[in-house]
């Protein structure tokens, strides 16, 4: 586990992280983001479609002395998202930071992917951002400030060698969605930025991609993905978590409507 002393950058802030559970053993991006925000002094609401996963993350933060909530919601359902936001406001009376991290990945190009798969990925990866912002932004407007961090992907702008048309398209949509939100609400003190992770070694990646890279051999898949990176090594969930804390904090008070690429230089090869 990546450890860091509480630094106070998010002291007295309330943060809602979607997809805060991990889809498998280890540290997923949402789980790491929740931990990094708590270690920066924030109160953290851990939201996941599986309550046990949200509770696991919240439990880790509480063991470290953090203040947390574990929430369950299907982020493609407006009523459930609204209820989750209301729970945060009822508990802590404000919502300072929204982190849209939840996402799924399904393989297939436009010929191979089913219509159902396309709709499912678009709903989870993109519609969810629309719904969380719909219900969270009014609280930020009332406060006169807020920060939104949307986790996208370098697949939004580059071909990564993997045919997942729905995932890439949803992440491209997330980038433009972020810019629209940022510009519309800039004068209200609300910032919105996107993080574009590159190749990461996380539970979400290991399960769906192992067959594509190496016929089910996870270690061979990791070796191939490591070799693709200029650094010789994939990133991990903490690289995204630390970037999130920065964008959520006042250190980034003059940063909005931008894309922070966290990819170990891989997209620079195609610049």
**The total number of structural domains that make up the chain:** 1
pLDDT in tens, 156-191: 999 988 899 999 999 999 999 999 999 999 999 999
Residue 15, exposed/middle/buried by CB under 10 A (0-12, 13-18, 19+)? buried
User: Given the structure tokens 């609204």, which residue do they identify?
Assistant: 82
Mean pLDDT to the nearest integer, 201-206: 79
173 within domain boundaries: yes
State the pTM of this model.
Answer: 0.94
216 within domain boundaries: no
Whether 164 is a known active-site residue: answer no
- Band of the pLDDT at 226, cuts 50, 70, 90? very high
Mean pLDDT to the nearest integer, 245-249: 98
Q: Is 70 exceeded by the pLDDT of residue 212?
A: no
230 within domain boundaries: no
Q: Closest by alpha carbon to 204, among 130, 127, 102, 83?
A: 102
Catalytic residue among 164, 167, 213, 254: 167
- In angstroms and rounded to an integer, the radius of gyration of the C-alpha atoms of the chain is 18
222 within domain boundaries: no
Q: Which domain holds residue 108?
A: 14-202+236-263
75 within domain boundaries: yes
- What CATH number is attached to the domain comprising 170? 3.40.50.720
């Amino acid at each position: 586990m990546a450890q860091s002393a509480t630094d106070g950058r998010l002291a007295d802030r309330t943060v809602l992280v979607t997809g805060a559970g991990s889809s498998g053993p280890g540290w997923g991006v949402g789980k790491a983001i929740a931990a990094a925000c708590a270690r920066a002094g924030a109160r953290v609401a851990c939201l996941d479609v599986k309550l046990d996963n949200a509770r696991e993350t919240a439990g880790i933060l509480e063991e470290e002395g953090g203040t947390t909530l574990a929430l369950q919601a299907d982020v493609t359902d407006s009523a459930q998202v609204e209820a989750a936001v209301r729970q945060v406001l009822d508990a802590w009376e404000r919502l300072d930071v929204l982190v849209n991290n939840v996402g799924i990945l399904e393989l297939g190009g436009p010929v191979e992917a089913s219509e159902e798969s396309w709709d499912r990925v678009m709903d989870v990866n993109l519609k969810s951002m629309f719904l969380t912002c719909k219900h969270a932004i009014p609280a930020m407007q009332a406060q006169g400030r807020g920060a939104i961090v949307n986790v996208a992907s370098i697949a939004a702008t580059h071909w990564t060698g993997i045919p997942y048309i729905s995932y890439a398209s949803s992440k491209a949509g997330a980038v433009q969605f972020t810019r629209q939100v940022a510009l519309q609400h800039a004068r209200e003190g609300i910032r919105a930025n996107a993080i574009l992770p590159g190749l990461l070694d996380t539970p979400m990646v290991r399960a769906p991609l192992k067959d594509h890279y190496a016929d089910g051999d996870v270690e061979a898949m990791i070796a191939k993905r490591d070799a693709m990176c200029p650094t010789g090594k994939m990133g991990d969930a903490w690289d995204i978590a630390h970037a999130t804390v920065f964008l959520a904090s006042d250190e980034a008070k003059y940063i909005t409507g931008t894309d922070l690429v966290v990819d170990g230089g891989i997209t620079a090869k195609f610049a």
